[in-house]
Structure formats: C-alpha cells, structure tokens
Structure 1
Amino acid sequence: MKTWIDGRVVDVADATVNVTDHGLLYGDGVFEGMRVAAGRLFRVDRHLARLAVGAKAVGIALPRSLDELRGIVEETARANGEREAYVRLVVTRGVGPLGVDPTTCERPGLFCIVGAIRLFSDEQRRRGLELITSSHRRPNADALDMRIKSLNYLGSALAKLEARQRGADDALLLNARGHVAEASVANVFALRGDVLSTPPVTDGCLEGINRAAVMDIARSIGLTVVERSLGRLDFFAADEAFLTGTGAGVIAMRSLDGRTIGSGECGPVTSRLTALHRRLAESEGVEIIAPPGGHQA
C-alpha cells in the first residue's frame, strides 16, 4: 500500500498526519474513492470533478489543480503497482488550533492512498448480501447534503456496525420521510420486470459515479431506468436488487430484514450488469499499469 503525502510517495507505514489536522479532529474535508481495474483508472476525471464541487460546497480551496491531482493519483497508483486497487484522494481543512473554526486553518491538507479494499468476500458476492434496515437515518439535504463526500462517515459506520451486530452483511438507510436513501456506502437498485429503479439524490444518496455507469449500461440492454422514491416494500416486491459503488462494484441483495428478494440468489439481470460493468471498467481510462508482458500506453 502506497501513499502520496508532502510531495512524495511513501509506504503507508511511513506516512504521518498532524494530530491537529481538522480533517482528523472534526471530519472537516472531502475525498474521492476511485478504482483501478485491469490496470486502468476508472472515470478519474468524473471523480475529480465531483471532488471539486464538494470542496467548493464546504469552502475548501483545492491545494492543487485538477490536472495536478490527476497526476498525483496516477503516480501513487503506479507506485503501488497492482492492477486491481482502490484509490482514496483526501483533502482536509488542514492543520489548525483546537476549535471547530475552519478559518483558523491556513492551508488544506492533501494525501492519496492506494491499496487493496475488500468490502465483501467472494462467498458474499456469489450468494448475494443479506441486509437489514438500519435504525440510523440519512439527514435531510437542508441539514447535510449527502452528495458531498465529506470525511464524516459516522452514520455509515454506525449503520454497518448495526448490520454486523444483527448478523447481516450491510444496512439499508432510510431518510427522515421513510424513503430509502442508500446502503451504508453504496447506491441501491431494485428491478421489477424490465424497470430498474433507484432513489433520487434528493432522497439522501450519493450521486455515485458507478451508479451513473450502471444506469447507462442498463438502458443500453433495454431496461427502463427511473429515479424515484422507494420504500422497503419496493425491495420486497423486486425481482432482483443490488448495490453499486467503487468498492462494492455491482453486488446482489438476497434479502432485506429476513425477507427474500426475488429468488434469493443473484438474478440474471444483476449477473449481466455485473459483467458489463466490469467490462466497462476494464476498457475505460488511461492504462497506468501494463499487463504482464505488455507495454504501458
């Protein structure tokens, strides 16, 4: 695992962050999680564009241009050397005195981590995930807009903890109105017939890069894709359901709150979307790590 920090790439064990960084103390910062698939960075420019919007929303001036940030991501991924990897680019408010006041931080912090991430095992991917409905709620957008990938993931961590303590793989989170927002760290989809539904971002979900990719793929194979408010009943009535995300990829839901979804197995449409999403990830983007015996582009 490699980290870019203070202008150089080092092993993670050799990287340090100041304990008075407001990103650590208060979760004050933004990040992007990106994917290296078959040696290629998947939709890095879209991730960086979203990072820029998030930074603007919380009032952090990015310390480098988007081109420079892209170079940092590529440099760190190359140094890590793995053709399958997860990239986390983090921008913090920066070092400052104790106290939540963001104006006391002189300049933003920046680091990039590249390594392995395994949210779910091969067995979980084969059989599909068992989810529970979390007691934790996503906040309304006027309280905290979930389109901003901030460093504060306490709600997601508590939802995941609740799921694991109840013997499930992951959790579905509702918003204050009782509509489905997303899973702990992934977008959600429900298929009924040839209609694929996913919650709108106004219901408290992240405007996921992989969510958008799967929506495009689904349309290309003849599915009708709609963004609409969903309840738990929509998942109980679904023929198939699945999660999407950078770390999750595309992974089936087999049950929710002990009720089987569809056949209780990864359905044919989910399997097809999984394969097509993987194919897209393997074909898009600049090749940064050449295949064995190959030549880097």
Structure 2
Amino acid sequence: MFVYLNNKIVPASEAKVSVFDHGFLYGDGIYETMRVYDGVIFMLDEHIKRLYRSASLIGLNIPKKIPDIKISIYETLKANSLTNAYVRLTISRGYGTIGLDPDLCKEPTFVVMTNEFKSYPRSYYKEGIKSIISSVRRNLKEAINPQIKSLNFLNNILAKIEAKQADVYEAIMLNAEGYLTEGTISNIFFVKDNILCTPSVECGILDGITRAIVIDLALKNGLEVKEGKFTPEELYMASEVFITNTTMEVMPVSSIVDRTMHNTACIAHKPVGEISKLLLKKYQQEVNGYVKEKKAEGPSLWE
C-alpha cells in the first residue's frame, strides 16, 4: 500500500507524521472522503470546493493548487492499482511546537490515502440497518461551525461508542434544542405523509454532498422535500427512514431505539420503503451517468 505524503508517494510503512503535528495534538485540520467508481472520482470538484471552504473557515492555507490536488489523488490511486476505491484526503495545520497558536506551524501536512472499496453487506440495503437516537448531543453550531469538515471528531466518536454498545450500526444525534441533526457519519432523511424530510443546515449539520444530490433527485422525481427542524417523535412516526453519505450512498434504516435519558424504552421499526429504493436506484444511475460523462471527455489523469 502506498500513501501520498506532502509531495511524494511513499510506502505506507514510511508514511509517518510527527508527534508534534497539530493535527495529532489538537485535531487541527480538515479532510474529505471520496468514492472512486471505475477510475473516476465522483464529484471531485465538489469535494475540493468544500475542502477549500473548510480551510478558509479555520484559516488554513492549502499547500497545493487544485490541479495538483487532483494529480496527487490520481497518482495515489495509480500507485495502489485501484479503480474502485475510497479516498481520504487530509490536511493538518502541520508540524509545530506545543501550543494553540496556528503560527507555530510553518507548513501544513498533506496526506492522501486510498483503499479498495468493499461493498456494504447486501442485507443492509435489503433489510435496513439498526440505529439509535444518541444521548450525545451534537456540538453547538455556534461553538464549532458544522460547515468545517474537521479532524475534531470526538463528539461523533462518543455517539459511535454508544451505538456499538447498543449493537447497532449508526447513532442519530440531536442538537441542544432537541431537534434531529445527523448521524455520526451520515445525513438522515425520513418520509412522513409522502413528504421527504431532512434536517436543515440551520439545525447544525454538515451539508453533505450526497445529501444535496438526493434532494435534487427527489425533486426531479416528483417528490416534495421539506428541510427544517424535526423532533425524534416525527422520526418515529415516519413511514420510512434512510441515511446517506459518500460511500454508503442511500441506506435504509429499519429500527430506531431512543437512548436519550427520557425515552430509553422507545423503539420504532421501519420497513425498507419504496422511496428509499427509488432514490438509491436514481442515485446509482446518477453515478453511472457521471462516470460515463467523465470518461467521454477524453483521457483522464488516471490514464
């Protein structure tokens, strides 16, 4: 396995970052995760645009120009002989002495890691995954802007620990006001009265790229979409629920257990609904069309 570290491809065993790196010391950095289909990175420009947004919001200077970022990703894929993969691009504040001052770091650390994509179990899509409403609340958006896709993930990790203890796949988090936000690694949707509902950005969520595509596909297929503030009770009453992210695409949720302090016994079971199936199918068609279009543009960096 090979990793792109700063300006070169190195074997994974040599891909080392200093213990004085502020990404390690303080979680000071940003990242993006991308999916690669048949040698084409899906929505690469959108991911890079969001990367730059995150960098701007934390005052981090990205050490490469956009064309060079693209080349570094494709070089890493090529070094690992991967055409169906996921990519993790990480940029930390870099090496510096101990202290919170960003100026202590003279140069950011730039890392690209790729791995072969292994499909999720078919049963997840056929039967749905189990989830909980976590007792861990989402960070206040006034404290940590959710539009920053940062390395600081402890809030989500605590919710994930709770999910593992409950033997379920995902934990859905509420904000300080008690409204639905998102999962530890996903955005959430539910269907109520034939309306597709999803928490709005104002609730304190990351505006997922897959989320935006799913909303667009729903509208194109005649579905009414409502973004807003929703309570857990509205989720329990939904006819179907699903989550989205870059790698899982559209994944149905079959059960929700409330683990908050006031409703420890509340359990809701959901069927894998027709809207979930439709949007998964349309999403995969969108991917196939994107890949076909990119390949038709001519030789890619992969080649």
Please confirm whether the aligned pair reaches a TM-score higher than 0.5, indicating the same fold. yes
Report the secondary structure of 1:135's partner residue. coil
Counterpart residue number, 2:135: 135
Distance 1:222 1:54, change over 3 A: same
Report the secondary structure of 2:135's partner residue. strand
CA contact (8 A) 1:2 1:115 kept: no
Deviation (angstroms), 1:287: 4.5
Counterpart residue number, 1:43: 43
Distance 1:175 1:117, change over 3 A: farther
After TM superposition, the structure 1 stretch with the greater mean CA deviation from structure 2, 18-27 or 191-200, is 191-200
Report the secondary structure of 2:283's partner residue. helix
Deviation (angstroms), 1:31: 0.6
Separation in 1, partners of 2:215, 2:71 = 29
Separation in 2, partners of 1:48, 1:275 = 26
Separation in 2, partners of 1:244, 1:194 = 19
Question: Is there any run of 5+ residues in structure 2 with no aligned partner, and where?
Answer: 258-265
Give me the TM-score of the superposition, normalised by structure 1.
Answer: 0.91
Report the secondary structure of 2:16's partner residue. coil
Separation in 2, partners of 1:144, 1:108 = 21
Separation in 2, partners of 1:37, 1:260 = 35
Separation in 2, partners of 1:117, 1:232 = 33
Deviation (angstroms), 1:32: 0.7
Which structure has the higher relative contact order (CA within 8 Å, separation 6+)? 1
Q: 1:270 aligns with which of 260, 276, 294?
A: 276
Separation in 2, partners of 1:173, 1:119 = 25
Deviation (angstroms), 1:135: 1.2
Counterpart residue number, 2:177: 177
Counterpart residue number, 2:123: 123
Q: 2:64 aligned with 1:58, yes or no?
A: no
Identity %: 33
Separation in 2, partners of 1:200, 1:2 = 39
Tell me the number of residue pairs that the alignment of Structure 1 and Structure 2 aligns.
Answer: 289
Q: 2:84 aligned with 1:98, yes or no?
A: no
Separation in 2, partners of 1:125, 1:12 = 33
Deviation (angstroms), 1:222: 0.7
Whichever residue aligns with residue 259 of structure 1, its letter is: I
User: 1:231-269, CA deviations, whole angstroms, 9 ceiling, x for partnerless residues?
Assistant: 1112111111100001221100111116334xx332121
Distance 1:127 1:8, change over 3 A: same
Distance 1:120 1:112, change over 3 A: same
Deviation (angstroms), 1:2: 3.3
Separation in 2, partners of 1:101, 1:72 = 29
Distance 1:228 1:131, change over 3 A: same
Report the secondary structure of 2:23's partner residue. helix
Counterpart residue number, 1:213: 213
Deviation (angstroms), 1:226: 1.6
Q: 1:81-96 maps to which residues of 2 (within 5 A)?
A: 81-96=81-96
CA contact (8 A) 1:41 1:287 kept: no
After TM superposition, the structure 1 stretch with the greater mean CA deviation from structure 2, 29-38 or 12-21, is 12-21
Distance 1:149 1:78, change over 3 A: same
Deviation (angstroms), 1:156: 1.1
CA contact (8 A) 2:139 2:155 kept: no
Separation in 1, partners of 2:243, 2:151 = 22
User: 1:22-77, CA deviations, whole angstroms, 9 ceiling, x for partnerless residues?
Assistant: 01111000011111123321110011001101101001011011221122122222
Query: Runs of 4+ in structure 1 displaced over 4 angstroms?
Result: 117-120
CA contact (8 A) 1:197 1:226 kept: yes
Q: 1:1-297 maps to which residues of 2 (within 5 A)?
A: 1-116=1-116, 120-257=120-257, 259-261=267-269, 264-285=270-291, 286-287=294-295
User: 1:190-217, CA deviations, whole angstroms, 9 ceiling, x for partnerless residues?
Assistant: 1123311111111111110000011111
CA contact (8 A) 1:187 1:243 kept: yes
After TM superposition, the structure 1 stretch with the greater mean CA deviation from structure 2, 277-286 or 36-45, is 277-286
Distance 1:17 1:119, change over 3 A: farther
User: 1:74-112, CA deviations, whole angstroms, 9 ceiling, x for partnerless residues?
Assistant: 222233323321111111101001122211001111011
Give me the TM-score of the superposition, normalised by structure 2.
Answer: 0.90
Distance 1:135 1:116, change over 3 A: farther
Whichever residue aligns with residue 140 of structure 1, its letter is: L
Separation in 2, partners of 1:180, 1:283 = 33
Whichever residue aligns with residue 282 of structure 2, its letter is: L
Deviation (angstroms), 1:280: 1.4
Report the secondary structure of 1:136's partner residue. coil
CA contact (8 A) 1:175 1:203 kept: yes
